[in-house]
Amino acid sequence: MDWSVVGIVISLVMIVVLALRGWHIIVIAPLAAVVVALFSSMDVMSTLTGPYMKGFVNYASRFYLLFLAGSIFGKFMEDSGAARSIAESILKLIGRSNPLVAVGVAGLIGGVLTYGGVSLFVVVFALIPIARPMWRELDMPWHLFAVSFAFGIGTVTMTMLPGSPQILNIMPTKYMDSTAMAAPLLGIVASIVALVFTFFYARYQIKRYQKRGEHYVASSGIGMVVGETESVNMEKLPNVWLSLLPMVVVIVMLNAVKLDAVWALLIGTAVCVTFFWKQYGNILSTLNKGAVNTVIPIINTCADVGYGMAVAATTGFTVISAWLLTLPMHPIVSLSVATNIMAGITGSASGGLGIVLETIVGPYLAMGLNPELIHRIATISAGCFDAMPHNGVIITFLAVAGLTHMNAYKHIFFIAVLAPLMSLIVVIPLGIFLY
């Protein structure tokens, strides 16, 4: 028995159990890294100061400015009333008595943004200020927003729809003869399966909360970051088309001008300030709050990435990687299993897919499997078990939205894990038949 592998499994179980019991990831992640080190006969302090802190610091150096710019953009959209204006316009279109439509519309907005190329982290900050007033107006429990968010950013546009500009759909093109449009029929079928699954799940959860008499409750505590402002003057909301302008500018700067996301968000913030100058009570206060709101999300995610780096430094991780190549099943099925396991261990779709593309895809291509089939199945698989409680985007989302693993993760699990798995169960046999 390889005790290093046992340690990895125990640490993953510990993360899931403790997160669902209300422990904070800032505490859980280093504890899990300690467990990994002990079972792998690694020096605990060297593991924490080495691989763990290397992952922690590297992530902060790469993404701190993005979190900062995104948080400031979200706060300026919120305090100007622009986000509320967009939400009010949506409510006028869909009515104020249909929660299921609201859940769907919020998911659609997230999907449009991500399919337009907007980073998942940017969507976190852009979508919540729009959605929260809708939930408050419809008196829906806020944890249901996790359904919309998980579907909008974590399923169809992230891994399934052909042509998506998200990084997961682009990565395979660097390793094989495929394009972002790879296996379009499989991608469309997978998207339909995920959509149907999400519809029935959302409808069930809405009926359930109505039966239990749940209502909207404002977020509280250190996790409450975006969208909870109650002081917006409804009589002085800016024009909705003008309110959309900052978001449109961000999308154009990202996709047409090809600016870095940080610059795109800062330009969007500048547009917001320029057009809504009179809407702000205290611009310095808005700026400071947006900046301070960066701290919890970035620290949470860095802690999680540090754990992933500690796992990657163990002998158990090498053993698991080698074992995946010998699974006794159809190659495309074993590829899906391998990608799911790697994404689950690392808590990262891109991290898991990157490992598979670097170490496993070569032998599968040598077997004569179609590159487009490998591309689509591997990409969808990366977007299943990546959505474990220690996933960086999930941790960021919960912190920014003022939610917890305890009240919201079950929705994420059903929509971002089970729905893609259902899609794989349908498209893998179809892919084997077609390709």
**Per-residue confidence (pLDDT) for residue 228, from 0 to 100:** 59
Round to whole Å and give the CA distance between 16 and 409. 10
Average pLDDT over residues 96-108: 87
What are 389-434's pLDDT values in tens digits?
878 788 888 888 888 888 899 999 999 999 999 999 999 999 999 8
Average pLDDT over residues 244-268: 82
**Per-residue confidence (pLDDT) for residue 226, from 0 to 100:** 53
Average pLDDT over residues 194-204: 96
**Per-residue confidence (pLDDT) for residue 235, from 0 to 100:** 62
CA dihedral 267, 87, 101, 113 (to 10 degrees): 0
Beta bridge partners of 224: 401
Phi-psi label, residue 182: left if phi above 0, alpha if psi -120 to 50, beta otherwise: beta
CA 281 to the chain's CA centroid: 33
**Per-residue confidence (pLDDT) for residue 223, from 0 to 100:** 41
What are 208-222's pLDDT values in tens digits?
999 998 888 876 544
Residue 286 in this model has a pLDDT that exceeds 90 = no
How many residues are there in the chain?
A: 435
**Per-residue confidence (pLDDT) for residue 224, from 0 to 100:** 42
* Ranges of each domain in the chain: 3-434
Q: Tell me which of 15-24, 231-240, 292-301, 419-428 is least confident.
A: 231-240
Which pTM was predicted? 0.75
What the block records as the tokens of 403 is: 């939610």
What the block records as the tokens of 206 is: 């809405």
What are 321-342's pLDDT values in tens digits?
777 667 778 889 989 998 998 8
**Per-residue confidence (pLDDT) for residue 220, from 0 to 100:** 52
**Per-residue confidence (pLDDT) for residue 411, from 0 to 100:** 96
More confident residue, 244 or 191: 191
Round to whole Å and give the CA distance between 310 and 291. 30
Residue 234 in this model has a pLDDT that exceeds 60 = no
Closest alpha carbon to 166 in 216, 113, 105? 113
CA 154 to the chain's CA centroid: 6
Residue 19 in this model has a pLDDT that exceeds 80 = no
Round to whole Å and give the CA distance between 122 and 91. 23
* 410 Cβ neighbours under 8 A, 6+ residues apart: none
Closest alpha carbon to 422 in 373, 361, 381? 381
pLDDT band at 232 (very low <50, low <70, confident <90, very high): low
Q: Is the dihedral of CA 180, 182, 185, 188 positive or negative?
A: negative
